[in-house]
């Protein structure tokens, strides 16, 4: 393994290695000191702030690691970019309609995020999308009744419908998107009963299929949306009740993270056909809602890779506007207001998970005894001979022999024919062989198939103070790739290759998919620096603002991490605007129905009994109970 830290290494090398300028979208870069920086654009110019400084600022204020760091400016910036790109495309194409975005609450329901979006979205009339009663309640309480759209998707019962209808009286613009035929009769009945005219949309099932991780949402078999048959029924029913004028919106959603712009265009084209037909049927219309799908380039390759996208935001907006305009112009139909429900692209950039590394396991041999002992078991001697025979032309053979002898030596141990120290010696010889083969392979043009996994086999394991299941559930559920890199030391060459394990002790609790900038692909190990005794080594997982926070679960009872929201000012200073303590142990225990008070009481009784029996003293009892209640109040993660 290359441990030569003297190799000249610059922040430029690091920037390339981790691809920060590719996935960072201009928001992230490295400083000359070798720290990751966040860059914020102000009218007066760009401001760069070191994440290491922000982190030490929030740690001084008592926020522990792991922490989700949210930079509010990035949320604002993405929302502004989305709206301004659409506005630009609209004026460039001489489109007669306008753009109105909505943020789908399910993508990040955290109160701080929704509050920020509601506040910053005001200037753009940016609304919210609600997929359940709870989300509708969030939408109504965070927005003022100023006419911003509230798109109501999902299954809607009478209670949901009554609430949204009554809210309309206050001036809220709630649109019921009909996803299944059974919803319409309830909407008709309730609006007549309350004497409030409903605003209705229809969700159609497009036959356009998209590639990507989420393609189940598209195509004829997708679970959501009306078929053309069902849509005709809806139209007939509305006509019957003289309510065709209530139908104002057409909606579809092809799935999240669509990497290919062609799929996006095809979807818009097909949807426009439906729109034309609905207008011809006599519906008032006026809104065309394209759903979500605008992707984030997590790996920075600008490609059709499932974690990437082959288009820019400007291209997305221009394509959408052009397709809508040209299709509708051919039928002389007025240009609708274009609505999108972009969630992922709006919030992904603003949050990052920061955690410290607790420990490292190396797979490196201890130095072998010199001279090598002669009186060892014959098989150990044979293994040692393999070590002496390694040559560039013979790597495969040496590897096979080493594996063979190691297995045989394992058998000897099981039968009691060698002892623990012999086995340990053999293990060291074996690791030495693998390390030498690995070094030789670095000079090879072609790596033999069987040896491809060697690098992963020998990779270090860095143990991080976090839980994949709680904070990065998509890594476990769908093999999502997020950018991961150290926050600091980028003037030093990261000479170790590692995977990153969490502290849940679950074999799935690890990150072993990383960006491979060089090959525009994904790799299974990450270059990292050796730990230093006197310094926390802090890693950041970036672009985690979308979908991660509420999907997280309580695996091994690791709870919510702390959250710190920071706003950066034009002079480069920052304010900790909001902070949330993470869950305490007592919090997570109560989620699974324990009562912290009775837990303490049970333990107190056990301790009291021990005092009576003379096992511990009264003072020891007090110390024990103090530790117990301190633990109950403590953070669920490793505290230093
Ligand atoms: C999940 C979802 C979205 C958000 O999609 P993104 O790809 O995150 O923008 C939008 N609309 C509907 C109906 C959804 O279910």
pLDDT at 292: 97
Averaged pLDDT score across all residues of the chain: 94
The owner of tokens 């909505």 is: 102
290 Cα–ligand 1 center, Å: 10
- Residue 443 reports pLDDT greater than 90: no
Would you say residue 638 lies in a domain? Answer: no
Let me know: does 318 contact 93? Beta carbons within 8 Å.
Answer: yes
Shared domain check, 337 and 434: no
pLDDT exceeds cutoff 60 at 382: yes
> Are both 170 and 314 inside the same structural domain?
yes
294 lines ligand 1 (CB under 6 A): yes
* Gap between the Cα atoms of 136 and 156, Å rounded: 11
Ligand 1 centroid to Cα of residue 381, in Å, is: 62
How far does residue 180's CA lie from ligand 1's centre (Å)?
18
Q: Is the pLDDT of residue 580 over 60?
A: yes
At residue 171 the predicted structure's pLDDT band, cuts being 50, 70 and 90, is: very high
Average pLDDT over residues 567-593: 94
CA-wise closest residue to 89 among 330, 332, 323: 323
Residue 290 sits in the same domain as residue 416: no
**Among positive and negative, which fits the CA dihedral 177, 180, 183, 184?**
positive
Question: How many angstroms separate the alpha carbon of residue 105 from the centre of ligand 1?
Answer: 9
Q: Which helix (H) or strand (E) segment is 423 a member of?
A: helix 420-441
The stretch 434-463 carries a mean pLDDT of: 87
pLDDT at 505: 82
Task: Give the C-alpha separation, 291 to 489, whole Å.
Answer: 42
With the most atoms of ligand 1 within 8 angstroms of its CB, the residue from 291, 346, 480, 550 to mutate is 291
**CB within 8 Å of 53: residues ≥ 6 apart:** 35
Contacts of 404 (CB under 8 A, 6+ apart): none
Of 296, 318, 342, which residue constitutes the final position of a domain? 342
Pocket test for ligand 1, best of 206, 253, 271 (most atoms within 8 A of CB): 253
Please report the pLDDT score of residue 143 as a whole number: 97
* HSE, side-chain direction, 13 A CA sphere, residue 194: 19
Closest-CA residue, ligand 1 atom 4, reads: 292
Q: Which residue among 313, 341, 350 is best mutated to probe the pocket of ligand 1, counting the most ligand atoms within 8 A of its Cβ? A: 341
276 and 424 assigned to the same domain: no
**pLDDT of 220-243, one tens digit each?**
656 789 999 999 999 999 999 999
> Ligand 1 centroid vs 248 CA: distance in angstroms?
20
Q: Is residue 329 part of a domain?
A: yes
Quick one: 146 and 279 in the same domain? Answer: yes
Whichever domain contains 191, its CATH number is 3.20.20.10
Kindly indicate the confidence band of residue 638, based on its pLDDT and cuts at 50, 70 and 90. very high
Residue 533 burial class via C-beta count within 10 angstroms: exposed 0-12, middle 13-18, buried 19 and up = exposed
CA angle, residues 351, 357, 361, in degrees to nearest 5: 140
The predicted-structure confidence for 21-34, as pLDDT tens digits, reads as follows: 999 999 999 999 99
Q: Is the CB of 342 under 6 A from ligand 1?
A: yes
How many A from CA of 190 to the centre of ligand 1?
A: 28
Same domain assignment for residues 101 and 204: yes
287 Cα–ligand 1 center, Å: 17
> Cα of 379 to ligand 1 centre, how many Å?
61
Question: What is the 3-state secondary structure of 366-386?
Answer: CCCCCCCCCCCCHHHHHHHHH
Residue 444 has pLDDT above 90, yes or no: no
Distance between Cα 603 and ligand 1 center (Å): 48
Same domain, 187 and 336: yes
Task: Report angle CA 138, 143, 145 to the nearest 5 degrees.
Answer: 125
Domain shared by 194 and 264, yes or no: yes
For ligand 1, say whether the CB of 509 is within 6 Å of any of its atoms: no
Please tell me the predicted confidence (pLDDT) of residue 1.
41
Size (the chain), residues: 640
| pLDDT on residue 218 | 64
Burial of 532 (0-12, 13-18, 19+ CB in 10 A): exposed
445 lies in some domain: yes
List alpha helices for 442-485, DSSP H: 454-458, 468-471, 473-478
Do 276 and 386 belong to one domain? Answer: no
What's the burial of 391, exposed, middle or buried (CB within 10 Å: 0-12/13-18/19+)?
Answer: exposed
Does the structure show a pLDDT above 70 at 5? no
Which domain does 597 fall in, by range? 586-633
Structure tokens at 245: 């004028």
Number of domains within the chain: 3
Is residue 3 over pLDDT 60?
no
Q: Is 128 in the pocket of ligand 1 (CB under 6 A)?
A: no
The residue among 287, 315, 342 that closes a domain is: 342
Q: Tell me: the pLDDT tens digits for 110-140?
A: 999 999 999 999 999 999 999 999 999 999 9
Ligand 1 atom nearest the C-alpha of 258 is: 7
519 falls within a domain: no
Q: What is the pLDDT of residues 47-105, one digit of tens each?
A: 999 999 999 999 999 999 999 999 999 999 999 999 999 999 999 999 999 999 999 99
Q: 253 in ligand 1 pocket by Cβ < 6 Å?
A: yes
- 26: in domain: no
**Are residues 269 and 199 located together in one domain of the fold?**
yes
Mark which of 455, 476, 506 sits at the end of a domain.
Answer: 455
- Residue 199 domain flag: yes
Asked whether 292 lines ligand 1 (CB < 6 A), one says: yes
* 421 and 297 assigned to the same domain: no
Domain-located, residue 507: no
Upstream peptide bond of 421 is cis (omega within 30 degrees of 0): no
Is there a single domain that holds both residue 182 and residue 303?
A: yes
Q: Judge whether 347 and 157 are in contact, CB under 8 Å.
A: no
Residue 569 has pLDDT above 80, yes or no: yes
Record the pTM: 0.93
Helix boundaries (H) for 71-203: 72-92, 111-120, 133-142, 158-170, 183-194
Please report the sign of the dihedral spanned by the C-alpha atoms of residue 16, residue 18, residue 22, residue 27. negative
The answer to whether position 543 is within a domain reads no
Q: Output the pLDDT for position 2.
A: 42
Cα distances from 104 to residues 59, 75, 170, 337, in angstroms, run 32, 14, 22, 18
């Amino acid at each position: 393994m290359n441990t030569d830290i003297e190799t000249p290494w610059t922040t430029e090398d690091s920037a390339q290695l981790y691809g920060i300028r590719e996935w960072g979208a201009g928001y992230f870069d490295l400083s000359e000191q070798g720290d990751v920086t966040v860059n914020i654009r102000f009218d007066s110019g760009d401001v760069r702030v070191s994440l290491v400084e922000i982190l030490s600022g929030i740690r001084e204020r008592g926020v522990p690691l792991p922490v989700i760091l949210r930079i509010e400016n990035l949320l604002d910036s993405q929302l502004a970019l989305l709206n301004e790109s659409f506005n630009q495309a609209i004026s460039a194409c001489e489109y007669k309609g306008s753009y109105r975005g909505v943020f789908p609450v399910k993508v990040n329901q955290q109160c701080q995020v929704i509050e920020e979006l509601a506040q910053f979205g005001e200037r753009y009339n940016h609304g919210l999308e609600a997929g359940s009663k709870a989300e509708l309640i969030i939408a109504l309480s965070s927005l003022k009744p100023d006419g911003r759209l509230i798109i109501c998707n999902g299954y809607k019962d009478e209670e949901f419908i009554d609430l949204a209808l009554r809210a309309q009286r206050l001036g809220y613009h709630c649109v019921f998107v009909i996803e299944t035929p059974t919803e319409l009769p309830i909407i008709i009945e309730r609006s007549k009963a309350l004497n409030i005219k409903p605003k209705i949309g229809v969700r159609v099932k497009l036959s356009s299929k998209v590639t990507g991780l989420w393609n189940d949402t598209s195509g004829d078999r997708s679970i959501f949306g009306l078929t053309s048959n069902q849509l005709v029924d809806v139209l007939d029913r509305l006509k019957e009740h003289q309510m065709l004028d209530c139908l104002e919106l057409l909606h579809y959603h092809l799935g999240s993270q669509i990497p290919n712009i062609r799929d996006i265009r095809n979807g818009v084209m097909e949807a426009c056909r439906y729109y034309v037909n609905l207008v011809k049927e006599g519906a008032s219309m006026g809104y065309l809602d394209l759903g979500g799908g605008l992707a984030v380039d997590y790996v920075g390759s600008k490609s059709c890779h499932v974690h990437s996208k082959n288009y820019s935001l400007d291209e997305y907006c221009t394509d959408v506007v052009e397709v809508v305009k040209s299709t509708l112009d051919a039928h002389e139909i007025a240009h609708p207001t274009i609505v999108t429900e972009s969630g992922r692209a709006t919030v992904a950039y603003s949050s990052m998970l920061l955690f410290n590394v607790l420990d490292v396991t190396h797979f490196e041999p201890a130095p072998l005894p010199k001279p090598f002992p002669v009186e060892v078991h014959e098989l150990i001697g044979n293994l040692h001979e393999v070590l002496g025979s390694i040559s560039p032309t013979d790597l495969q053979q040496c590897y096979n022999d080493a594996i063979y002898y190691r297995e045989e030596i394992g058998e000897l141990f099981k039968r009691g024919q060698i002892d623990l120290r012999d086995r340990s010696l053999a293990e060291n010889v074996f690791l030495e062989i693998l390390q030498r083969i690995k070094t030789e392979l670095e000079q090879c043009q072609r790596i033999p198939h069987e040896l491809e996994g060697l690098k992963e086999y020998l990779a270090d394991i860095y143990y991080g103070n976090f839980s994949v299941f709680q904070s990065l559930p998509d890594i476990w559920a769908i093999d999502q790739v997020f950018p991961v890199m150290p926050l600091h030391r980028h003037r030093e060459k990261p000479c170790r290759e590692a995977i990153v394990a969490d502290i849940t002790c679950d074999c799935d609790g690890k990150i072993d998919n990383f960006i491979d900038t060089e090959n525009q692909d994904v790799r299974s190990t990450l270059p990292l620096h050796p730990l230093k005794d006197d310094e926390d080594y802090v890693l950041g997982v970036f672009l985690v603002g979308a979908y991660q926070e509420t999907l997280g679960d309580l695996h091994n009872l690791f709870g919510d991490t702390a959250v710190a929201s920071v706003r950066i000012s034009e002079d480069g200073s920052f304010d900790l605007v909001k902070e949330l303590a993470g869950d305490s142990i007592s919090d997570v225990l109560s989620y699974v129905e324990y009562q912290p008070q009775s837990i303490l009481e049970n333990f107190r009784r056990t301790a009291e009994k021990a005092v009576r029996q003379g096992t511990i003293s009264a003072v020891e009892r007090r110390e024990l109970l103090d530790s117990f209640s301190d633990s109950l109040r403590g953070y669920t993660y490793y505290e230093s």
